[in-house]
């Protein structure tokens, strides 16, 4: 596994690769590209990705791209543009353009893409399908707990708009306070929170990135834009590409309630949409390995080389 920060749309962006490194020649003309949910911190998905790569037996590279501004390099050589004067980089349109530039610049045009999107990453994946030169290269999209419609009207969306948006300044200044505390105190407070919520300690370092004010502001800015823009699904696009789409919903998902699943299969009965009661929306916290094995099985079914 290799980790790099590269320039994408003028934003230093974290890329984690298993198999081919960035810039290496592709022996196999296929790749699995994973687009994160929000927050778009790559490290939350490491167990999922390594399991996926293992079950694919190393026969295809697996890459993950985080969202612009959600991961910050530790060194000072890479400067992250501030949100205040660069909002076009960090809203939904900016994040979609960010993925378009990355694919065009770093994945050779003759390499087929197995695109896996989690949460808002599923919405972005559908948008990529509709971009000619990129959509033609996508072998299949695997959309995990897909927030592709009416996010603001979901139970979690209503909670977000009533609490997070309303009290953003309080949350922001709380993050600033936590960020200036000694690292040992930050670790202690987060570990207590993890213990209460039964979250594995392996995510401690990622959580420290999450509470950075500069990162948190971009995460919340993107989420607020999601509430405004993710409304009616593009059923025409889904219908057109139904032969290469897999949707995966959960009965416990507060972002995509069962009614959204039912509406999709009602509109497009032939769509490959599955409903589970085994996994939660934030599957990375407790079910990464199981989800990695499951997605590997799907990809093997739709790959000519694996």
Tell whether 159 is covered by a domain. no
Confidence of residue 152 (pLDDT cuts 50, 70, 90): very high
Average pLDDT over residues 139-151: 97
Tell whether 218 is covered by a domain. no
Q: Look at residue 151 in the predicted model and tell me its pLDDT.
A: 96
pLDDT, greater one: 124 or 75 = 124
Average pLDDT over residues 152-158: 94
**Is 253 one of the catalytic residues?**
yes
Tell whether 58 is covered by a domain. yes
Q: Look at residue 192 in the predicted model and tell me its pLDDT.
A: 59
Q: Look at residue 203 in the predicted model and tell me its pLDDT.
A: 65
Domain CATH for 18: 3.40.50.1820
Q: What are the contacts of 127-136 at 24+ separation with CB within 8 A?
A: 127/96, 128/96, 128/99, 128/100, 128/103, 129/237, 129/241, 130/234, 130/237, 131/100, 133/104, 133/109, 134/100, 134/103, 134/104, 135/241
Q: For the segment 165-206, what is each residue's pLDDT rounded down to a tens digit?
A: 666 666 666 666 666 667 776 666 666 555 555 666 666 666
Tell whether 189 is covered by a domain. no
Which domain, by its residues, includes 294?
2-151+232-301
pLDDT, greater one: 77 or 291 = 291
Residue 155 has pLDDT above 70, yes or no: yes
Q: For the segment 29-41, what is each residue's pLDDT rounded down to a tens digit?
A: 899 999 999 988 8
Distance (Å, rounded) from C-alpha 76 to C-alpha 66?
Answer: 19
Percent of the chain at pLDDT exceeding 90: 68
Which residue in 119, 125, 217, 250 is the catalytic one?
Answer: 119
Distance of alpha carbon 266 from the chain centroid: 27
Confidence of residue 306 (pLDDT cuts 50, 70, 90): very low
Secondary element (H or E) of residue 201: none
Average pLDDT, the chain: 88
Buried b (16+ CB within 10 A) or exposed e, 147-179: bbbbbbebebbeebbeeeeeeeeebeeebeebe
Tell whether 115 is covered by a domain. yes
The model's pTM is 0.89
Cβ atoms 212, 183 nearer than 8 A: no
Total structural domains within the chain:
1
Tell whether 217 is covered by a domain. no
Distance of alpha carbon 138 from the chain centroid: 17
Tell whether 174 is covered by a domain. no
Cβ atoms 295, 52 nearer than 8 A: yes
Tell whether 184 is covered by a domain. no
- Looking at the DSSP bridge assignments, the partners of residue 250 are 276
Average pLDDT over residues 219-235: 94
Distance (Å, rounded) from C-alpha 286 to C-alpha 203?
Answer: 11
Which residue in 118, 225, 281, 303 is the catalytic one?
Answer: 281
Strands 138-144 and 62-65: unpaired
Highest mean pLDDT among 23-32, 55-64, 141-150, 151-160: 141-150
């Amino acid at each position: 596994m290799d980790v790099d920060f590269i320039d994408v749309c003028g934003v230093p962006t974290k890329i984690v690769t298993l198999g081919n490194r960035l810039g290496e020649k592709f022996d196999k003309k296929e790749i699995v590209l994973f687009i994160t949910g929000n927050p778009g911190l790559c490290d939350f998905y490491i167990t999922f990705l390594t399991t996926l790569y293992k079950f694919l037996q190393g026969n295809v590279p697996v890459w993950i791209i985080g969202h612009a501004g959600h991961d910050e390099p530790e060194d000072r050589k890479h400067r992250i543009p501030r949100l205040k004067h660069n909002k076009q980089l960090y809203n939904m349109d900016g994040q979609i353009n960010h993925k378009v530039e990355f694919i065009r610049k770093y994945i050779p045009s003759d390499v087929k893409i197995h695109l896996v999107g989690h949460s808002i990453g599923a919405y972005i994946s559908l948008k990529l399908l509709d971009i000619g030169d990129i959509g033609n290269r996508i072998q299949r999209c695997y959309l995990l707990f897909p927030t592709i419609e009416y996010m603001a009207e979901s139970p979690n969306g209503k909670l977000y708009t009533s609490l997070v948006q309303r009290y953003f300044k309080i949350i922001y200044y709380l993050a600033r306070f936590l960020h200036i505390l000694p690292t040992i105190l930050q670790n202690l407070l987060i570990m207590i929170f993890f213990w209460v919520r039964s979250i594995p300690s392996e995510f401690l370092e990622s959580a420290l990135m999450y509470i950075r004010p500069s990162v948190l502001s971009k995460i919340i800015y993107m989420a607020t834009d999601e509430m405004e823009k993710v409304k009616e699904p593009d059923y025409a696009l889904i219908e057109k590409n139904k032969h290469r789409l897999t949707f995966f919903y959960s009965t416990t998902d507060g972002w995509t309630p069962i009614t959204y699943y039912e509406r999709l299969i009602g509109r497009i009965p032939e769509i490959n949409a599955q409903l589970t009661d085994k996994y939660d929306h934030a599957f990375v916290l407790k079910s990464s390995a199981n989800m990695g094995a499951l997605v590997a099985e799907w990809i093997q079914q739709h790959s000519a080389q694996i």
